[in-house]
Structure 1
Amino acid sequence: MAHIEQHTADAGATILPSRQSSDDDVEKSSSEVPNTEGTFYQNQMGPKPKRKHFFSSLDPSYAAAVHRDAASVEYTEDEERAVKRKIDNTVLPLWGASYVFNQFDRTNIGNAHVIKAFNDNYGITDNDKWTLALSIFYVGYCLLEMPANILQRHIGANRFFFLALTFWGIASLSFVYARGYAGLLVLRVLMGIGEAGYYAGMIYYLSFWYKRHELAMRISLCMTGTLPGAIGGLLAFGLVRAHTSILQGWQFLFLIEAIPTLIMAVMILFFLPSFPFSATFLTPRERAIAQARLNRDHRPQSHGGMTGWQGFKAVISDLNAWLFMLVYASFNVGVATVSYFLPTLIKGLGFSSINAQGLTVAPYFAGWFMVFFQAWHSDRTRDRGWHIMLSCTISFVGYIILATSVQKSVGAAYFALFLVVGGNYSLFPLVMSWAANTFSPTSKRGVGTAFIVSISNCVSIASPQVYFDPKDSFRKGHAISAGGVYPSNSTFIDE
């Protein structure tokens, strides 16, 4: 039985001097003017933070000013709800949309694989070549995960994610005209490099805005792969039928799903605030309230504290980080394989290539309700462990049904896919929100979430190889996946 303890963060942010006045002058002035409005120190700072160049960091004195104002601001519950609503309406739509496009670009190769013309174009002649193309994605992804999150902390979320979306968007678009198996492998590596830091970075970023008991539901709203999977299945069902003298159906699939990613990259750059202290959609008082409500919950730091290297050493010496990594890795085997193999598994039940695309919609759509309910109820009850065990059990049962019934009953096998999708994907917001709440200070949180994702995805390098025997309807793969998810189910996590 493993036990993961939840830690609270440090007492507060490092206080840095203002650029325009000394600490003594500011403290003297503040003793004469009560700061219950939460704007005094920010008013000393002048205009919004400026940068010298694209890769430079924001002036940390602005973060210090917001933290100082947050220490003394007084506000009502209605004001807090209003601030949270503004954050929800600004941050979540941008994240949710970017994640949908991320899932399109990541999983459209699975939809394309059931189309013969795609396999002919890229020289995918057997299952071994197919699984290698899937696995190679995770090489750059794992190696660059932690450095990417350190870069995000330095330059800010909007610039980091602009670079990430642009990089993988161009790589995804290149699938339209690339040829040959070598070209496929190169593009898969580039996709992995572009997506490195994206998942962990989103969780790291959201932890700056939301309390611990608010985080899981927000992650589920922004980062569930089930809703994009349903939409992607519908798009694939229609797009693979399209044919012109220039492009075939599978090429339209990559083209139509890559262009929105590049558009979203520009929107992220201009509309997503780098950090809460630089959020222009909030007034100075609202920025202080946004920081104060988190300080009373877990005291995050947007700047200051450990360096990236100190954060890394703190993470690898923390038993909790390794336990979270074990849980994440155990269910990530299933998530990685389902996202790529679901159309293939459905086609293997006896459906045509086109109908298999459409039949992916229902498991993903039902899974979305499972993801949202688990995250909502987990936040409401402030429990993570028992919810994680429930999701693992549902996924485990689904894999057992697939392993024993896939050749006997089409209906039972298709129903089992509902359980597998809902169980696997609902684990992501539960585990990662808990991890983000546990690690402190901020530099450790950023490295910690990246550590969990990067080390766990080393398992994902091998996960496509789990489905190595299509002649047996992948029954061995289902059994291995059931064994993979079992460690999460058997690891009792008590908050």
Structure 2
Amino acid sequence: MIPSRIPPVRTSQSFAPPAVAASKEGDIVAEKRLLRQLDLRILPAVALMFTLWSLAGNLGNAIILNADTGDSFLQVLHMSTHQFYAVAAASSLTTTLFQVPSNYMLKYFSPSYWLAFLMLGWGATLMVMAASKNYITTLFLRLLLGAFEAGLTPGVVYFSTFWYRCQERSLRIAFVYASATLGGAFGGSIAYGVASLNGVRGLEGWRWLFLIEGVPSILLAILVYFFLPSFPETSSWLPPDDRALAIRRMKQESSKSLSHDKITWAGAKSTLKDGRLYLHYLLSMVSCIPPISLALFAPTIINGLGYQGRNAQLFAVPPFAASFVATLGLSVVADKYRVWSMCCLVSYVIAGATFIVQGTLPPTAFKARYVLLCFGAMFSTIPVGPMPAWFTSNLRDTNATTLAIAFSSTLTTGGGVIGVFLYKPSEAPGYRTGHYTNGGLLFFCAACTQLLRMIYKRRNKELQIGQNPWIV
């Protein structure tokens, strides 16, 4: 006779002596303390770097700043539409070329030195752009700006693998990446105020904008150089016990990226031959096109919704502010339940639908189009945290981590070049081509995400006993 109630099976933890249980509890407390120290030391500086980077690379506000008085960036430099496209895309070209070398430089020189150098370079370049007199000079400076900006995105993702476990990265990467959307929000607010400086000391408003946005990058570069920690092994600011814990934590990760690990040619070839990584690269490239196109053209699109002059700058703030909040909120969910890919999949579908609907609305439906613009910006930006966390959690050694992150970021920048050309002035104010293209690209991203989920599920079924599972 089968008993009606089977007594619970005691796990090995039930037999643990009090000393062992206390030790485990002490480890948890120590790890939480370590994470607090890391977050306070790393996240504010890196998030501010992304905010300033977003300000430096975005021409969107300069395009329409003081256009009503004939003093905008395009009007003063007498640029044609095609010349503006070339200037806007120039930084993406050099960023694409220099991202892989930059990731190697970051490991060779250490993150604090290399990231500080990059910030100093782009801050100085942005300030020099304020003195631009013609198209050729501006084009050259944008190429130089892109070379300095190249190392930030892949460098920060790579840097996070030195300090955080995969289940700890999504929210933190999301916070850092979402700070770039704050750059879009602050950019509109700054441009609104700078518009009143037009003509002061003989300088147009956009020149003041470049000067004001360049100075903070130079100042932050100095702080990053002295205070940003590079590797757990060299972190003299941590107490010995915490430093040992930081090193031990990362040795337990499947993607080991400690400072002493060497990058080998054999490992690099293995990474290059891994087919599923190329699907990740493609996803990274395509998924960045909608948010980048909006970052550049949101003020112009809003200008076509009936909000003119300085008001167009102010109304560019809510879409980016909403993106920041939503990105952090969904990343908390993704980290807590380890559903990084699912958060991305759902976000891509919703964002794609909002862009398609925007394209079908009449140009005069100002309020509906503005609300959909906010939702499109929000849901197309949400994956910036979960997607890198999912990607890096499925990298298994220092070769894959160093090389794959740089390749992924390089193609992301290549996608940014495409985003420059989506919203054509001739299609104002409806911009149907831009909206339909973004919608289609986001649905494509959803399909790629689902295909990757299927690949990882199949790989998990083929694992041998003792092998680390792939993150679905």
Equivalent residue in structure 2 for 1:232, among 187, 190, 193: 187
In structure 2, distance between residues paired with 1:124 and 1:350 = 25
2:360 and 2:51 map into 1 onto residues whose CA distance is 33
- Map of 1:92 onto structure 2: 43
Q: Which amino acid aligns with 1:182?
A: I
- Deviation at residue 232 of structure 1 after TM alignment: 1.7
2:346 matched to 1:396?
no
> 8 Å contact 2:63–2:74 — kept in the other structure?
yes
For residue 211 of structure 1, report the CA deviation from its aligned partner: 1.3
Moved more, 154-163 or 247-256: 247-256
d(CA) in 1 for partners of 2:293 and 2:434? 9
Contact 1:311 1:447 in 2 (8 A): no
CA contact (8 A) 2:233 2:259 kept: no
Question: Is 1:426 matched up with 2:382?
Answer: yes
Is 1:281 aligned to residue 237 of structure 2?
Answer: yes
Q: 1:320-359 counterparts in 2 under 5 A?
A: 320-359=276-315
- AA in 1 matched with 2:217: T
Alignment partners' CA distance in 2, 1:121 and 1:210? 47
Deviations, residues 137-166 of structure 1 (Å, cap 9, x unaligned) = 111111111010011111100111011111
Amino acid at match of 1:453: S
1:309-347 deviations in Å (ceiling 9; x for gaps): 445423221122211111111211112211111101100
Q: Structure 1 residue 103: deviation in Å? A: 0.9
Q: Is contact 2:61–2:313 with CA below 8 Å preserved after alignment?
A: yes
AA matched with 1:418: C
The residue number in structure 2 matching 1:490 is 447
By how many angstroms is 1:470 displaced?
3.2
Letter in 2 for 1:110: G
Q: In structure 2, give the amino acid aligned to 1:343.
A: P
Question: How far does residue 469 in structure 1 lie from its aligned partner after superposition?
Answer: 4.5
Q: Distance in 1 between matches of 2:231 and 2:25?
A: 22
Give yes or no for contact 1:333–1:481 (8 Å, CA) kept in 2: yes
How far off its partner does 1:120 sit? 2.0
CA distance in 2, matches of 1:430, 1:284: 32
1:423, distance to aligned residue in structure 2 (A): 1.4
1:108-127: per-residue Cα shift (whole Å, max 9, x none)? Answer: x110101332212222233x
Corresponding residue number in structure 2 for 1:101: 52
Q: Residue 466 of structure 2 aligns with which residue? A: none
| Candidates 79, 91, 105, aligned match of 1:151 | 105
Q: What percentage of residue pairs aligned between the two structures are identical?
A: 24
Per the alignment, residue 265 of structure 1 pairs with 221
TM-score with structure 1 setting the length: 0.82
Q: Specify the alignment match of 1:178 in structure 2.
A: 132
CA offset at residue 371 of structure 1? 0.4
Give the match for residue 168 of structure 2.
Answer: 214
Greater helix percent: which structure? 2
User: Are 1:193 and 2:147 matched, yes or no?
Assistant: yes
2:121 is aligned to 167
Distance in 2 (alpha carbons) for counterparts of 1:185 and 1:229: 22
Per mean C-alpha deviation after superposition, the further-off stretch among 146-155 and 397-406 is 397-406
8 Å contact kept, 2:96–2:413? yes
1:301 to partner: Cα distance: 3.0
Gaps of 5+ in 1: 1-72
Indicate conservation of the 8 Å contact 2:351/2:376, yes or no: yes
Question: Residues 458, 301 of structure 1: CA spacing in aligned structure 2 closer, same or farther, 3 A cutoff?
Answer: closer
Provide the rounded CA distance (Å) in 2 between the counterparts of 1:263 and 1:161. 13
Counterpart of 2:61?
111
Query: Contact 1:150–1:308 (CA<8 Å) still a contact in 2?
Result: no
Task: Point out where structure 2 has 5 or more consecutive residues left out of the alignment.
Answer: 1-23, 454-471
Alignment partner of 1:378 out of 334, 347, 353 = 334
CA distance in 2, matches of 1:226, 1:310: 39
d(CA) in 1 for partners of 2:258, 2:210 = 37
- How far apart, in 1, do the equivalents of 2:127 and 2:425 lie? 31
Q: Is the 8 A contact 2:299 2:312 kept in 1?
A: yes
- For normalisation by structure 2, the TM-score amounts to 0.86
In 1, distance between residues paired with 2:192 and 2:267? 46
Note the C-alpha offset of 1:307.
2.1
CA distance in 1, matches of 2:261, 2:183: 37
1:251 pairs with 202, 207, 222, which one? 207
How far did residue 446 of structure 1 move? 1.6
1:295 to 234, 251, 254: 251
Do the aligned residues in 2 keep the contact of 1:406 with 1:412 (CA within 8 Å)?
no
Residue 33 (structure 2) aligns with: 82
Deviations along 1:164-221, one digit per CA (max 9) or x if unpaired, are 1111111111121111111121111111101112101101101111111110100111
Q: How many Å separate the matches in 2 of 1:470 and 1:189?
A: 27
One-letter code aligned to 1:99? F
| TM-fit CA distance, 1:238 | 0.9
CA distance in 2, matches of 1:288, 1:375: 29
Say if 1:399 and 1:463 are closer, same or farther in 2 by CA, change over 3 A: same
Indicate the larger mover: 484-493 or 455-464.
455-464
State the Cα distance separating 1:85 from its structure 2 match.
Answer: 0.5
Contact 1:226–1:421 (CA<8 Å) still a contact in 2?
Answer: no
Larger RCO, structures 1/2 (Cα 8 Å, 6+ apart): 1
Deviation at 1:406, TM superposition (A): 5.2
Once residues 299 and 268 of structure 2 are traced to their aligned partners in structure 1, the CA distance between those partners, rounded to angstroms, is: 39
| CA distance in structure 2 between the aligned counterparts of 1:178 and 1:308, rounded to whole angstroms | 44
Give the Cα–Cα distance (whole angstroms) in 2 for the partners of residues 455 and 106 of structure 1.
17
CA-to-partner distance for each residue in 1:50-80, whole Å, 9 max, x for gaps?
xxxxxxxxxxxxxxxxxxxxxxx99521111
SS of match in other structure, 2:163: coil
SS at match of 1:179: coil
Q: Name the structure 2 match of 1:465.
A: 421
The separation in 1 between residues aligned to 2:156 and 2:383, in whole angstroms, is 16
Contact 1:337 1:463 in 2 (8 A): yes
Task: Tell me how many residue pairs correspond in the alignment.
Answer: 422
Separation in structure 2 between the aligned mates of residue 299 and residue 457 of structure 1, nearest angstrom? 24
Pairwise CA distance, 1:305: 4.3
Letter in 1 for 2:336: R
Q: Is the 8 A contact 1:220 1:429 kept in 2?
A: yes
SS in 2 for 1:76: helix
C-alpha separation between the residues in 1 aligned to 2:128 and 2:307?
30
